[in-house]
């Protein structure tokens, strides 16, 4: 049985002008206007390049979205995933009618509200009561609806005592609760939730997510935009994966997320050099290869926090010596997670290899880089190399209702009892 | 299956977000849905002005009072510019009150897009609600200032006995309405253009100041002669201001031909304002 379609996007594209937007476009405007009044296509639409931030700009225009088509059915929970700049925000802006597409159209049934507008239009001089009415009206509620919900909103925000105090005297927590209270009582047919919510404290996040599942259980539609794959996985039935303004994949959440992770998680998990001349090194040694070997289950190709990892490297020693190797594992921000060292071993000339095993459930979800030090006779460092390998560890699927980031440099699994 | 096809019938969509190239694609029904928002914006404008002040709304009347006093000293006493048979205070008071409404409304509405970009960037509502609310809150302020004028006016009728109003006074709400529409349409046109060409905003501030001298705020039309008079009359505000004064003071120029010109001028700018605003509001957030 197919359900009613509540949002239908047909061929939507959005063109942005890069660089200076302002005066000096008068001639462009006139040309465009002239072309269009003659019924021709906008001459500047052809110039657009794909929005890939890694490439240098070749054109003054870029497509933030290109030929997007999708349908959302009533009661669906749809996740939109993609890296920064993939076009997620642009799509949200189009859906919430803040701006309009360059081509194509979106048809919508019912009222759309988005939780990214929390507190929009709050005026610091007005009292809590006045702001509830003002903000509610901005979000599209009529006075009657607000009156009906008023007590609930005040209750939800817990500001009964201060309802006639200007909100500029509110604590930031009260302010946010009141603002969210208004948005949460909108009762839209379609709710858009942005990941911005994730920055709130745990309690706030819980409230937001609670509200979302509440809305979903009432047969209404939710569009959830996030970087957080775990939250998307557990809240959304289907997902859209955007990249450079285009839909890469669309469908069942698990499938889309796997696709996303395998394409977007960039690892330098192997490096190899064919000859000693090219290999990094000096008169003491040359590093011939370095490799990360995750012990992955069948059909999985990303490293998550539970994955056991072997880090192996091979090198050619040019001079016989007592050698020990020291390995630093750091995050890109420069925080060293740990430093481990081998024993000092007498080694002869020739090829040698070394392997470090990092057990599963030790590292947190983050990006890690590896730095090596070769030490001779427990004294001088004869060679060091930075960032020889880089890999990303992603979060594992979670259950429950909390999807915030685990705090901490490491995320070990330790015996922790409760009786 | 047949049912679902019926459900997807194009007529049943509530919102259709398109690239929006239609010139006359207005949604007046939607405006009605947002009428409470209009009221809330007006309330906000009024309340926030006198929050944490002692005198509250009284501050509204201080402004025309001080301006009139200044005009009285500079133009009437020092420069000796005649205001005709109308007492100078009364003449300046009505002039500054009306002009104050026009210029304030024009200044505020012409900044609609630039000043509210953050709100507009986050949530949708018919953008035209905002300049409309400024027009209405300006009217509330105008009415407070106007009652001050009425007090002075009554004094000159019954105690000083210098002026005699006539029945044309009953038409003044119409002239006021035209002034309201004119400030609104100028404002919407300017704000639509400033989203792209920011320099306009400086021109406007300057232009509005100059325009006051082309409007019978300080000098009555009867004191202007020759070619200059035509320039004055081409200003659509001139005959409106004069008609106002004609009703209240029994003095002034009441020329139906020029009044019709003003009304026609206003209607044309209003239509242009609506069209440009409607076109710009859909995508201005990309350029602001």
**What is the percent of chain A with per-residue pLDDT over 90, rounded to a whole number?**
16
The CA distance from A308 to A294, in Å, is 6
Contact B17 A36 (CB under 8 A): no
Query: Using CA atoms in the order A24, A30, A32, A37, what is the torsion angle rounded to 10 degrees?
Result: 170
| Number of domains comprising chain A | 2
Q: Does residue A406 lie in a domain region?
A: no
Residues A276 and A319 in one domain: yes
Cβ–Cβ < 8 Å for A289, A279: no
Q: What is the pLDDT of residue A216?
A: 74
In angstroms, the separation between the Cα of residue A76 and the nearest Cα of chain B is 16
In angstroms, the separation between the Cα of residue B191 and the nearest Cα of chain A is 14
Residues A10 and A90 in one domain: yes
- Which residue in B1, B7, B17 has the most chain A C-beta atoms within 10 A of its own C-beta, making it the best mutation to test that interface? B17
Residues A75 and A212 in one domain: yes
Contact B20 A100 (CB under 8 A): yes
The CA distance from A130 to A126, in Å, is 6
Q: Give B74-125 pLDDT, tens digit per residue.
A: 988 888 888 888 888 899 999 999 999 999 999 999 988 888 888 888 888 8
Q: What is the pLDDT of residue A20?
A: 46
The CA distance from A42 to A31, in Å, is 9
Contact A99 B283 (CB under 8 A): yes
What CATH number did the domain enclosing A203 receive? Answer: 3.40.50.300
**ipTM (interface pTM):** 0.81
Q: Does position B2 have pLDDT exceeding 60, yes or no?
A: no
Q: Give A233-291 pLDDT, tens digit per residue.
A: 777 889 999 988 889 888 898 888 888 877 776 666 788 888 888 888 888 899 999 98
Q: How many CA atoms lie within 13 A of A342 on its CB side?
A: 20
Contact B44 A134 (CB under 8 A): yes
Q: Does residue A99 lie in a domain region?
A: yes
Question: Closest by alpha carbon to A385, among A318, A313, A321?
Answer: A313
- Which residue in B19, B27, B194, B197 has the most chain A C-beta atoms within 10 A of its own C-beta, making it the best mutation to test that interface? B19
Three-state SS string over chain B comes to: CHHHHHHCCHHHCCEEEECCCCCCCCCHHHHHHCHHHHHHHHHHHHHHHHCCCCCHHHHHHHHHHHHHHHHHHHHHHHCCCCCCCCCHHHHHHHHHHHHHHHHHHHHHHCCHHHHCHHHHCCCCCCCCHHHHHHHHHHHHHHHHHHHHHHHHHHHHHHHCCCCCCCHHHHHHHHHHHHHHHHHHHHHHHHHHHHCCCCCHHHHHHHHHHHHHHHCCCCCCHHHCCCHHHHHHHHCHHHHHHHHHHHHHHCCCCCCHHHHHHHHHHHHHHHHHHHHHHHHHCCCHHHCC
Q: Does position B259 have pLDDT exceeding 90, yes or no?
A: yes
Q: Does position A198 have pLDDT exceeding 60, yes or no?
A: no
Mean pLDDT of B257-277: 94
**What is the percent of chain B with per-residue pLDDT over 90, rounded to a whole number?**
39
Residues A210 and A329 in one domain: no
Nearest CA in chain B to A90: B286
In angstroms, the separation between the Cα of residue A42 and the nearest Cα of chain B is 12
B161 compared with B69, residue with greater pLDDT:
B69
Residues A259 and A322 in one domain: no
Contact A2 B123 (CB under 8 A): no
Residues A221 and A340 in one domain: no
B56 compared with B240, residue with greater pLDDT:
B240
- Please state which of the ranges A27-41, A126-140, B102-116, B247-261 shows the lowest mean pLDDT: A27-41
Q: What is the pLDDT of residue A265?
A: 65
Crossing angle of helices B59-71/B129-154, nearest 10°?
A: 60
A315 compared with A55, residue with greater pLDDT:
A315
pTM over 0.80: no
- Domain housing A370: 270-393
Q: What is the pLDDT of residue B260?
A: 95
Residue A328, φ and ψ in degrees, nearest 5: -110, 130
Q: What is the pLDDT of residue B5?
A: 41
- Which residue in A61, A107, A142 has the most chain B C-beta atoms within 10 A of its own C-beta, making it the best mutation to test that interface? A107
In angstroms, the separation between the Cα of residue A231 and the nearest Cα of chain B is 24
Residues A204 and A285 in one domain: no
Instruction: Give the model's confidence band at A117: pLDDT under 50 very low, under 70 low, under 90 confident, else very high.
Output: low
Q: Does residue A52 lie in a domain region?
A: yes
Q: Give A23-60 pLDDT, tens digit per residue.
A: 445 666 666 666 666 666 555 554 444 555 444 445 56
Mean predicted lDDT score pLDDT of chain B: 85
């Amino acid at each position: 049985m197919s359900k009613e379609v509540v949002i239908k996007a047909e061929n939507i594209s959005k063109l942005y002008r890069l660089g200076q937007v302002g005066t000096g476009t008068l001639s462009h405007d006139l040309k465009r206007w002239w072309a269009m009044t003659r019924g021709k296509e906008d001459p500047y639409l052809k110039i657009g390049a794909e929005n890939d931030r890694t490439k240098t700009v070749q054109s003054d225009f870029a497509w933030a979205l290109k030929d997007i088509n999708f349908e959302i059915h009533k009661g669906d929970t749809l996740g939109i995933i993609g890296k920064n700049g993939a076009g997620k925000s642009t799509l949200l802006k189009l859906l919430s009618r803040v701006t309009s597409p360059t081509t194509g159209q979106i048809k919508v049934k019912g009222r759309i509200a988005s939780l990214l507008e929390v507190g929009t239009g709050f005026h610091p001089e007005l009292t809590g009561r006045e702001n509830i009415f003002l903000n509610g009206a901005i979000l599209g509620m009529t006075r009657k609806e607000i009156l009906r919900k008023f007590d609930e909103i005040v209750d939800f925000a817990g500001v009964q005592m201060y309802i006639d105090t200007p909100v500029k005297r509110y604590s930031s927590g009260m302010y946010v609760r009141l603002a969210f209270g208004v948005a949460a009582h909108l009762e839209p047919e379609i709710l858009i939730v942005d990941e911005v919510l994730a920055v709130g404290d745990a309690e706030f996040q819980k409230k937001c997510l609670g509200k979302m599942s509440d809305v979903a259980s009432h047969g209404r539609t939710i569009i959830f935009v996030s970087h957080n794959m775990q939250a998307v996985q557990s809240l959304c039935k289907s997902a859209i994966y955007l990249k450079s303004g285009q839909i890469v994949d669309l469908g069942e959440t698990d499938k889309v997320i796997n696709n996303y992770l395998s394409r977007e998680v960039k690892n330098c998990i192997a490096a190899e050099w064919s000859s000693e001349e090219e290999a990094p090194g000096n008169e003491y040694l040359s590093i011939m290869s370095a490799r990360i070997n995750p012990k992955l289950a069948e059909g999985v190709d990303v490293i998550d926090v539970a994955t056991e990892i072997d880090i192996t490297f091979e090198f050619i020693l040019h001079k016989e010596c007592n050698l020990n190797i020291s390995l630093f594992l750091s995050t890109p921000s420069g925080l060293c997670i740990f430093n481990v060292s081998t024993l000092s071993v007498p080694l002869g000339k020739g090829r040698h290899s070394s392997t470090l095993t990092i057990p599963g459930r030790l590292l947190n979800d983050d990006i890690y880089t590896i730095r090596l030090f070769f030490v001779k006779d427990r004294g001088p460092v004869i060679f060091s190399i930075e960032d020889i390998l880089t890999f990303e560890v992603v979060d594992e699927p979670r259950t429950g209702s909390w999807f915030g980031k685990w705090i901490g440099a490491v995320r070990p699994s330790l015996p922790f009892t409760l009786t | 299956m047949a049912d679902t096809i019926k459900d997807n019938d194009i007529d049943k969509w509530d919102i259709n977000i398109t690239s929006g190239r239609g010139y006359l694609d207005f949604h007046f029904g939607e405006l009605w849905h947002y009428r409470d928002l209009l009221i809330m914006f007006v309330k906000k404008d009024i309340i926030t002005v006198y929050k944490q002040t002692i005198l509250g709304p009284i501050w509204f009347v201080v402004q025309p009072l001080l301006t009139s006093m200044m005009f009285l000293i500079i133009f009437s006493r020092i420069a000796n510019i005649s205001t005709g048979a109308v007492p100078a205070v009364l003449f300046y008071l009505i002039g500054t009150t009306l002009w104050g409404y026009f210029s304030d409304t024009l200044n505020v509405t012409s900044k609609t897009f630039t000043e509210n970009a953050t709100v507009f960037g986050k949530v949708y509502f018919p953008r035209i609600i905002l300049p409309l609310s400024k027009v209405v809150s300006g009217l509330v302020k105008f009415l407070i200032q106007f009652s001050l004028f009425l007090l002075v006016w009554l004094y000159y009728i019954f105690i000083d006995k210098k002026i005699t109003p006539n029945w044309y006074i009953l038409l003044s709400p119409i002239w006021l309405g035209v002034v309201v529409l004119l400030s609104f349409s100028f404002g919407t046109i300017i704000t639509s253009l400033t989203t792209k060409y920011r320099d306009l905003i400086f021109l406007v501030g300057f232009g509005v100041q100059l325009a006051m001298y082309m409007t019978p705020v300080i000098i009555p039309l009867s004191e202007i002669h020759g070619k200059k008079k035509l320039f004055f009359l081409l200003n659509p505000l001139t005959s409106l201001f004069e008609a106002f004064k004609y009703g209240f003071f029994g003095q002034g120029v009441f020329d139906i031909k020029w009044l019709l010109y003003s009304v026609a001028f206003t209607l044309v700018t209003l239509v242009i304002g609506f069209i440009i605003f409607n076109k710009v509001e859909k995508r201005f957030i990309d350029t602001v």
